[in-house]
Each structure stands twice: as structure tokens, then as C-alpha cells.
Structure 1
Amino acid sequence: MSVADNPKRILVVKLTAIGDVLMATPVAKALRQAFPDSYIAWAVEKKAADVVIGNPYLDEVIVWQRSVPGSIPCRAAHFVKSAWQLGKTLRSKQFDVCVDLQGLIRSAFVCVLSGARRRVGFADGDEGSVLFYHEKYDPGSSDLNAQQRNLDILRVLGVESTDTAMYMPISDSDRSFAAEFFRDSGLEDCKVVAFCPATTWANKHWVPEGWAKVADLLWDRYHVKSLILGAKADIPLANTIVEKARSKPVISAGQTTLKQAGAIMERSVAVIGVDTGLLHMAVALDRPTVGLFGASAWRCFLKKPNFVWVAKEFPCSPCQRHPICKDVDCMRAITPEDVLGAVKPWIEQ
């Protein structure tokens, strides 16, 4: 690609989920370094917007509230209205190129709405999304980590990058919130390990008894407190863990934004989580992190010195959304002692 062909106005589409958007953030930096004078925008759904709002490599974040609660007719009417408004906004930006990192029909739909002259997407996109791309990139191996896979599609634009560092913007106000939360919760002078026990896939969960036992082991052996992060929907699980734990972890689930949760992670000595967006946010923030994996495709995650995995080798792992066992045996096989052993080096520092 010659300099004359450089795109002046670029739209990146990665709508959801939180972890997936985080693993796409290296693209923003790569594009900015390759095209420093170009206008670069990112389209994202509201539930994951905090991941990219404040990213210094972007000129604009365009947020789509695709769905709302309510009856089917109300939701359908909202979708039509929101899509029309989104399309109007996108077309007003006059994008040269739209890069779809999602590879689903709804993200391809956003590319079409943008009116971009070039629509770029993955050749292995799902749900017929490939029918809507002008240019298709074949990522090759399915074992490639998500960050590099997202970067590699930029080769269509003449961009080469291996900088897979994710970026999660945290503001001073978020850090002030975290400091106040620690004070109000009696954690200001304590070592704290943050738990991320919940995700939208039930078969990625670990058992509540396991979380409770880890909390008690941390307190009994190291005098380290535990804190449970999550969304409002995760409060029942958090309450169950607290009920089973003698050490009574503090619950922040349902009380924070994503960015505020990130600021709480910054104040924690380590983070332990299942395969969920908050876990990947901890990795993006370069926090010492322990991931508990089994049902999801964990083997292709990018290894780092301060990101260790606890997983048992089962022939059916990963089963993704279609477990063939009754009790998600791969997750139940993880023991509290396994988890404590993984996090112990950071606690003892």
C-alpha cells in the first residue's frame, strides 16, 4: 500500500464482550502508529464501552445500545431505531475503511451501516458475515492468540505489528473511588486478593465452595482479605461465597463501573478469576493474575510472567458452550490448594 492509499478515516468494529474487546485493543495502537494523522474511531456496544472510552489511540468511541429490557415488540422497535441512529452517525463520519474484528452478522451489519468504501473482515467469520466484506483476511491457525489474530488482519491495510499489549484506561476519579471503597470496607491497611468468580457461561464457573475455601486459606495462612468483583447479576453468587466462607470476603459486585473495578484491581496484590472479562482486564492492567480454566479455549491465551493458569487436562476440554459431562468435571477438578499454590508467590513478596 502506497502513502497515497493510506486510509484517512478508519472505523474499527468490535462490539462485545468485555474480554474480547480488551483483546482487540492492541489494534488501536497499531493503527495510530501506522497512520498517525488518520481519524480512528471504534464502534462498541454499551456494555463494553468502558474498555475503549479514554483510549489515547482513538479519536472517537461510537457507542451502540443495541438491546434494552422489555417486551419483544419494544425490543424490536428499539433495535430498529438504534440501528437507524447508529447508521446515520456512522455515515456522517465518511469512513474510508471499516475493519470488523468481531466476525458476526451484527458486526458486519455495522460495517455496512458505516458506508465505508472498504469493508475488511476475517475469512472465517461466522453467521454469514463474510458475505458483507470487500476484503477477507484468512488468519490461518486457530491456535493463534486473540491479540495477534486481531493485529494480523491489519496486514490488509499494510500494517504489521506484534505488540500484543492490551490497554484498559483507568482515570484518577476511578482510583479515588477505589481508595474510598477500600477505606469504607476496612481494607485500607490490608493485603487484598480480588476474586472474579462469575461469567455469562455457567460452564466456565468454578464451585462456590472452592472460592470460599480459598478466601479462608488466604486469611488463615497469610492474613490476606478477599474481595469479590462482578456485575449486579453476580451478587447472588457473591453472597453464596460469603455465606460459605468464615473469612467473609468483601463484595464490590454491582457497586462499580468497569473502570472502577479496574482501579480496585490496581490496589489488590493479585486477581483470581474464571475466563471472564474482568480477568482479562486484570491482565491488561498488568496485575498478577491467576486464571481458572477448563470449558473455554484457554490454551491459546497469551502467556505472561504474571499471568498463570490453573487447568486440568481433560480430553473434552475445551467444550465451549456444549459440555458433554454432567458437572463440568474439568472445573470441579481444580482444588483450592491448586489456586492457593498459584497465587502464593505474589502474596509472599
Structure 2
Amino acid sequence: MKILLVKLSSLGDVVHTLPVVQDILAAHPGAQIDWVVEKSFAPLLMPLLGTGLRRVIPCEIRRWRKSFWTAATRAEWCAFKQELQAEAYDAVIDLQGLTKSAVVARLARLSASGRRYALANQTEGSGYEAPTRWLADVAIPIQPHIHAVQRSRELCARALGYTLPPALDYGLKAALAQEGRASSAPETIAFVHGTSRADKQWPLENWVSLGRQLNALGYHIALPHGNAEELVVSQLLAAALDGKNPGTQAVVWPRLPLDALTRELAPCAGVIGVDSGLSHIAVALDLPHVQIYNFDTAWRTGPAGAVQAGHEGGRQISVYAQPTPSVRAVWDAWLSCQSAVADPGTAL
């Protein structure tokens, strides 16, 4: 069975879709799975090549639509269509629910018995555009109140006719374990302070206070960044933390492609971060993780199966408060994560 998944963006949405690959392979071990994704997010999928995915097909629709009239864009678009149509698929599944993903799914070539599948309706908090169901052969209704991970899993299960396995597996942890390489120190905790929306950020002074508490326990702090603005924040944090506790340090990581950044995160002792794509990668790696929310949306995008702060037993916890969670709330959540790691029998 040849299957094409269409999930183009954003980073968090791509991460939330990863479990469908393992679900499909559990139900159809011989399936050959390809994935169309925006080029900037393609590196995240590369570790899965050979361990889940057969082919990653990058596109640049975000850029192309800004210069669709140029000869260069037309040439790139034609090359993309040629690569997309190199195979005939038994199932093409639009997991995005937008016009751009519907067009890509429609362009894909089907086998004699192949069909295109898509969402029939919008779910709470997600984007949705009607062409996704108009251009599909089969539009599948999904309950409106559903976690982003579960939405994709249910859509694929119903499209391909299998029962969802009870275990949630993103595939990344096992893929990286096969590579057997790690460079980050195991006593490192990564602070994911960067996010595409300013109203999701956590105050700088909170990061400093939290970092000093973690330093006092002997942890090093790693500070990734994705752009110039985030680099400035990382440098400010490093300056505020470095050398304040003997034997600890704060390290600003260089800007890395997603596959390299994922490999750096994998051996860390844990991650504390705001609602962002990088935090969702930490979830996919099954790291101890506290995810900080200024909005009550963790039920939809937070760690799937995680507990809310104030409850015991989870190695991944989402913390929500307005205008923003306190340092104490995040600290207590981190300690709860560590308790779950120390006693796996209490973890969800």
C-alpha cells in the first residue's frame, strides 16, 4: 500500500501529526509512506526516513504564492509537481484541512483504486477551509472537541480502516536511538523561550529565577533560538545565569536545522518551554517537560495525555495561568515531572 500524507505546516502541527506514521505501520507493516511538507520543516522528518517514511517531498508554497508570476517560481512549482506525481498512491490523506493542502492532495496521482481523504469539518481551535472536502473523494467527519494529535490519528484510522493502537508513538525517539549519537550533557535542561507570538512568551525575569533554582540543583541550562530576536533573549539569559552557581553554566546553542536541533534535545534531562514547535518536539522525544501556557489551550495542543499542573503523576505537564504562570507553579510542575521519572509507575 502506497500512502501520501499532506501536512505542510506549521512546526507544531507537523509534530502533532508524527504519530500517524507509526499508527499506519502498526496496522499495515508493509505500507510505503510519503509526506509532503514545507521545506523549512522537512528536516524534522529526515530521521524517520528508512524507519517509517519512504520519502519526504518538500514544497515552498508559502514562498511561491508571494512570487507566483515569476519564471523561477513557475519552474520550481513544475519540479515539485513532477516529484509529487512520480508515484501513484492508494491513499492520499489531507491532514491540514486548508485550500493549499487540498490542492496538493488533488494534484497527487492515484492508483486505479486509490482515493483522496480529508476532514469533513472544522474542529475547535483549528483552521479549516471548505475546498479540503470539495476536492477529496471521501470527507470524514471528526468530533469538534478533540486534541490535535488525536484528530490526525482518527482521520487516518478511519480513512484506512484500522483500529488505533493504545500506545502513542511519535517515532522520533526510536529513530534517534538507532543513530546512537548524543552531544548534549545529560544534566542539561533546555529553556524554550522563543515563540512566534509575543502573547505566548514568559517574562525574562521568570526564566532567570527558574534558571537559578535549577542551577542550584546542578543543572546546566541550554538556550536554543530560531531568529535574531530569540538570540538576544538567549544571550541575556546566559549572562544572567552563567557563573552564579559553581559547576553550572548556561550555553547559547548555535542556530541549528531542525534535525540537528532535535538530536541536541534528545539526550537532555528535560525541557521547559512556552507553547511552541520546539516544545512539541520535546514532547515527541518523550522528555520530561513543562509546557507554559498563557491561554487555556493546552487541552488541544499540549502534551497529549499529560496532566495539568496541580495533579500528580505526569512526566509531561502543562501549566496555565493568566496573565502568565508563576515561577512557583512552573517549578512545582518540574518537580512533579522529576517524581514521575524517578517512579515510572506513577506516570501516565
TM-score, length basis structure 1: 0.79
In structure 2, the residue matched to 1:272 is: 272
Q: 1:54 aligns with which of 47, 56, 69?
A: 47
Matched pairs, number: 311
Q: 1:140 aligns with which of 124, 138, 143?
A: 143
Looking at structure 2, the residues matched to 211 and 311 of structure 1 have their Cα atoms a distance apart, in angstroms, of: 16
Q: 1:236 aligns with which of 229, 232, 247?
A: 232
In structure 2, the residue matched to 1:340 is: 331
Contact residue 238 and residue 253 of structure 1 kept, 8 A: no
In structure 1, the residue matched to 2:259 is: 259
Q: Residue type matched to 1:149 in 2?
A: R
Residue 27 (structure 1) shift: 1.1
Output one character per residue of 1:142-167: Cα deviation in whole Å (capped at 9) or x when no partner: 2x222221111121221221443222
Residue 41 (structure 1) shift: 0.8
Alignment of 1:1-349 (within 5 A): 8-55=1-48, 56-68=51-63, 73=67, 78-116=72-110, 117-125=114-122, 126-128=128-130, 129-142=132-145, 144-154=146-156, 155-162=158-165, 163-168=167-172, 171=176, 176=181, 178-179=182-183, 182=184, 188=185, 191-219=187-215, 221-233=216-228, 234-245=230-241, 247=244, 249-254=250-255, 256-295=256-295, 297-300=297-300, 301=302, 302-304=304-306, 305-312=314-321, 330=322, 332-345=323-336
- Structure 1 gaps, min length 5: 1-7, 183-187, 313-329
Output one character per residue of 1:271-309: Cα deviation in whole Å (capped at 9) or x when no partner: 101111111111111110000012362123312421011
Contact residue 43 and residue 258 of structure 2 kept, 8 A: yes
Contact residue 175 and residue 263 of structure 1 kept, 8 A: no
- Structure 2 gaps, min length 5: 123-127, 307-313, 343-348
Contact residue 68 and residue 75 of structure 1 kept, 8 A: no
Contact residue 116 and residue 137 of structure 2 kept, 8 A: yes
Contact residue 22 and residue 168 of structure 1 kept, 8 A: no
Residue 82 (structure 1) shift: 2.8
Looking at structure 1, the residues matched to 283 and 69 of structure 2 have their Cα atoms a distance apart, in angstroms, of: 35
Residue 134 (structure 1) shift: 1.5
Looking at structure 2, the residues matched to 261 and 245 of structure 1 have their Cα atoms a distance apart, in angstroms, of: 22
**What SS does the corresponding residue of 1:271 show, helix, strand or coil?**
strand
**What SS does the corresponding residue of 1:230 show, helix, strand or coil?**
coil
Contact residue 315 and residue 338 of structure 2 kept, 8 A: no
Looking at structure 2, the residues matched to 173 and 235 of structure 1 have their Cα atoms a distance apart, in angstroms, of: 31
Residue 173 (structure 1) shift: 11
What is the percent sequence identity of the aligned residues? 24
Residue 338 (structure 1) shift: 1.8
Residue 76 to residue 123, structure 1, CA distance change in 2 (3 Å) = farther
Looking at structure 2, the residues matched to 53 and 94 of structure 1 have their Cα atoms a distance apart, in angstroms, of: 22
Residue 230 to residue 167, structure 1, CA distance change in 2 (3 Å) = farther
Residue 111 (structure 1) shift: 0.5
Output one character per residue of 1:114-166: Cα deviation in whole Å (capped at 9) or x when no partner: 13352211112523332211111111132x22222111112122122144322
Residue 78 to residue 200, structure 1, CA distance change in 2 (3 Å) = farther
In structure 2, the residue matched to 1:5 is: none
Looking at structure 1, the residues matched to 154 and 338 of structure 2 have their Cα atoms a distance apart, in angstroms, of: 37
Contact residue 152 and residue 161 of structure 1 kept, 8 A: yes
Looking at structure 2, the residues matched to 283 and 197 of structure 1 have their Cα atoms a distance apart, in angstroms, of: 16
TM-score, length basis structure 2: 0.80
Residue 334 (structure 1) shift: 1.4
**Greater alpha carbon shift after TM alignment, 60-69 vs 194-203:** 60-69
Contact residue 319 and residue 330 of structure 2 kept, 8 A: yes
Q: Residue type matched to 2:261 in 1?
A: A
Looking at structure 1, the residues matched to 325 and 63 of structure 2 have their Cα atoms a distance apart, in angstroms, of: 37
Looking at structure 1, the residues matched to 101 and 69 of structure 2 have their Cα atoms a distance apart, in angstroms, of: 18
Residue 347 (structure 1) shift: 5.9
Contact residue 22 and residue 281 of structure 1 kept, 8 A: yes
Residue 35 (structure 1) shift: 2.7
Looking at structure 2, the residues matched to 73 and 148 of structure 1 have their Cα atoms a distance apart, in angstroms, of: 35
Residue 242 (structure 1) shift: 3.1
Q: Residue type matched to 1:204 in 2?
A: K
**What SS does the corresponding residue of 1:30 show, helix, strand or coil?**
helix
